[in-house]
Each structure stands twice: as C-alpha cells, then as structure tokens.
C-alpha cells in the first residue's frame, strides 16, 4: 500500500500480539465459495484480492466448529484433514500482504437438518421458521463438547497460519442463542439470569484463550441489540462485553441482528432483495415462500451512516481492550470519526464486496467513500454461485464515487 494520505486510518495498531499496518479489517461474510465444505481456488482468490487491495486483515467466514453446526452445504467445518487447505489459504493471504483471521461459529437451532443429517441443537427447544425444524435443547454434556469444539477449532486455525480468530457470539448463532432470552428458556444453570446465560459463551472464550495462549488475538463478535423485544439490549450487552474481557478476549466487535428471525437484516441495513433471494432458494417450496413472505421475515431497515456508533461507544467506555467498529462506515471521514471516538479498528464488509481495492483507493486519495448502495443483492448471491457485487457485474453503479 502506497500511503499518500495522512489519515490515521492508515497507521499501525495492535490487537493482542498482532500488529496490523492499518485500521481496516474485512468483516466476516459468508462467501458461499467453500464448495463441498472445502477451501476452493475461488475462495482463496476472493480473499487474495482483498489482501492485495490493502485490507490489513481479512476474515474467512465461516468455519463451523463441528459438522453439526453448519447452515449450508457449502460451509467449512473444523476437522484435521482441513488443515492443509487452511494453510494454503493463509499462505495466499500473507503473500498478498494481509493478515488472516477466521470466524468460528456454530449455527445452533438454525443448523440445516438436511446438511447435518440430524436434529439441530439449541439453547432451548424452539421451532425455527427459517428451517422448518424444531431443535433439541442441549444437555450439559453437549455444552461441554461444544466448548471443546470451539477450542479445537481455534487451535486448528492457529496451527495452520491464521493470525487471529473471531468467535461469533452475535447474530443469533449458538453462543448468541444462549445469551438471548428469546432463545434461552432454560431452567438450569445455563438459563434465566444473565450470569447463567453467559455461562456457556464465557466458558468458550476462556477455553479458546487457554488453547491458543496469552498473546494470540481472540476477537469476539457480540450483539449490542438483537433487534426485537425480548432479546438482548444494550445494558446487557455492556455486561456481556465486560465478561468476555475478563475471560480473555483480545478485542470486541459489537454488532446486531438475529439470523432466523425477522431482524436477520438488522445488521445489513438497506434494501431487501426478495426477488433475488427467492430465485436462489434451494427448492420450489422455498422459492415460492420467499417470494410471498420474504418481505415479512426479512424486514427492511433503512441504512444510515455509523448506525451502531452510539451502542459501540457504550461498550467502548466499559472495557479496556480494543473495540472494533462495524456498521455503516462507508466514508473516510466516518472511519476517521470512529477512530477519534476511541475505536482503533473498523470492520467493513459490503464496501469490500463492491470493491476489493477500496482500502488502497482510500489511501491514495482516489476516492473518499464507497459507492456501494446497500442493495444487498450480494446477500442473495452468497446462496447461489457465491458472493459478488451484483451491481458491479451488471454495471448499475459508477466505479468511482
């Protein structure tokens, strides 16, 4: 990256024992490119372009910590034989100039029964409209097993060249399902009070920290709001953040939204591409249902710049570790505003799908903002042939802002 701007966005900073050359991190986005659950040339090429485009660290998303945590057939899951493929991925990213992180997840109650071949697991028994399935409440033994799965997946990542891991405890994934009162109706030591709902997610953070050692960067994505009544709100999110810090998190990424609930696009503010989502459905029934009811189950939330800043700063003021900003940082000026407010890093997703070269172009002064228009057709594309900027392919937006 040739620095021509004096922006603080393009100065070094650290997460744990890792120094990054600038403050831009690619957010974990499901790529739909891990065909058959393997690292493909297309997946590597996607992240190689991001690395060459100037991002400081790119995040591979997602790596399910066990086979029963997958939501899609084309999703990676942690297993020893995946190690050489992960090494090929990290070698390619490093050669192109960026650090590599990987998002560790378990889908919990919205794991896909047709993919995992059995009934999904969840915090409590719950019907998932997204899958048309009822999950089983996890036993204490299964909670221990999944805690160990997260730790093993983190070790697999570290041993194969990743520079950091991001534990996904937001967006309605399994750890988030234990944190949210909407999905956690348990009456044992893992349900009820926030302290109890935190027990499993906190154990995961602690186990991962013990597995990877004291300096390896462990980021944790969490919800500052689930996005509906009866879910996690900001006051609880502050306490969750503090607990994750105590258990060994290196940095926090406060986000929002809940997959398999109408707030699934609460994080992806902008349009809801119902027609494209319906066209990419796996079968006729899903395609018809999506066309008829997609606008109900995937509610539209208008985009606004820095739409999560207020809640993020609440959490930033409650912890001592770095807090990474994500949510509507589309312009250089807004990114610098985030840094000035005390968040040392910015995660961006859709702007880098629109243009993998955006960091270099911001740095050189060629552009001052992303020209992504939040159409969200990239979200629909992830379930089809893989992530891409559909507007760019169709020539619907100018390339220069």
SS3 275: helix
Partners of 19 in the β-ladder: 14
What distance in Å separates the CA atoms of residue 312 and residue 159, rounded to the nearest whole number?
32
Helix (H) or strand (E) holding 200: helix 199-212
Does the annotation mark 173 as catalytic? yes
- The candidate with the shortest Cα–Cα distance to 199, out of 158, 140, 153, 262, is 140
- The one catalytic residue in 30, 62, 130, 173 is 173
What distance in Å separates the CA atoms of residue 338 and residue 332, rounded to the nearest whole number?
10
What distance in Å separates the CA atoms of residue 261 and residue 228, rounded to the nearest whole number?
9
Helix (H) or strand (E) holding 381: helix 377-382
The answer to whether 209 and 218 have CB atoms below 8 angstroms apart is yes
Q: What is the DSSP letter of 80?
A: G
Helices (H), 280-349: 284-297, 309-316, 332-340
Instruction: For residue 100, give both structure tokens.
Output: 């590599």
Instruction: For residue 311, give both structure tokens.
Output: 């809640």
Contacts 24+ apart (CB under 8 A), 77-84: 77/37, 78/104, 78/149, 78/152, 78/153, 78/156, 80/156, 82/38, 82/39, 82/156, 83/156, 83/159, 83/160, 84/160
190-207 core/surface letters (b: 16 or more CB in 10 A; e: else): bbeeeebbbbbbbbbbbb
What distance in Å separates the CA atoms of residue 6 and residue 22, rounded to the nearest whole number?
12
166 CB-near residues (< 8 Å, 6+ apart) = 28, 59, 101, 102, 103, 104, 219, 220, 221, 253
Compute, in degrees rounded to 10, the torsion defined by CA atoms 39, 41, 45, 48: 60
Helices (H), 62-160: 83-95, 113-116, 140-159
Active site residues: 173
């Amino acid at each position: 990256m040739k620095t021509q701007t004096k922006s603080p966005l393009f100065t070094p900073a650290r997460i744990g024992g890792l120094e990054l050359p600038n403050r831009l991190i690619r957010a974990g986005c499901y790529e739909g490119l891990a065909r058959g659950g393997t690292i493909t040339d297309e997946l590597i090429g996607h992240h190689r372009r991001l690395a060459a485009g100037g991002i400081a660290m790119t995040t591979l998303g997602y790596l399910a910590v066990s086979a029963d945590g997958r939501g899609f057939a084309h999703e990676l899951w942690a297993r020893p034989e995946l190690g050489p493929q992960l090494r090929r991925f990290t070698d390619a990213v490093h050669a192109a100039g960026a650090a590599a992180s990987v998002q560790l997840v378990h889908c919990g109650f919205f794991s896909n029964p047709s993919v995992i071949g059995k009934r999904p697991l969840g915090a409590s028994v719950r019907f998932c409209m997204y899958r048309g399935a009822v999950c089983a409440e996890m036993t204490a033994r299964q909670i221990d097993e999944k805690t160990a799965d997260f730790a093993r997946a983190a070790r697999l990542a570290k041993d194969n060249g990743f520079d950091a891991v991001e534990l996904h405890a937001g967006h309605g994934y399994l750890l988030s399902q234990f944190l949210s009162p909407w999905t956690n109706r348990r009456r044992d030591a893992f349900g009820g009070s926030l302290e109890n709902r935190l027990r499993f997610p906190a154990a995961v953070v602690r186990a991962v920290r013990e597995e990877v050692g004291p300096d390896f960067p462990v980021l944790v994505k969490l919800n500052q709001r689930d996005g509906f009544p009866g879910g996690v709100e900001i006051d609880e999110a502050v306490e969750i953040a503090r607990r994750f810090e105590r258990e060994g998190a290196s940095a926090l990424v406060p986000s929002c939204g809940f997959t398999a609930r109408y707030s699934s696009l609460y994080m992806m503010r902008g349009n809801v591409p119902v027609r494209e989502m319906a066209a990419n459905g796996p079968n006729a029934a899903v395609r018809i249902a999506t066309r008829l009811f997609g606008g109900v189950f995937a509610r539209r939330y208008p985009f606004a710049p820095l739409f999560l800043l207020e809640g993020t700063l609440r959490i930033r003021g409650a912890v001592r570790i770095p807090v990474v900003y994500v949510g509507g940082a589309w312009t250089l000026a807004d990114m610098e505003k985030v840094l000035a407010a005390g968040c040392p890093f910015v995660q961006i997703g859709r702007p880098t799908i629109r243009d993998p070269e955006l960091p270099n172009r911001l740095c050189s002064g060629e552009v001052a903002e992303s020209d992504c228009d939040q159409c969200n057709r990239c979200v629909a594309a992830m379930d089809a042939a893989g992530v891409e900027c559909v507007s760019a392919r169709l020539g619907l937006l100018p390339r220069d802002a």
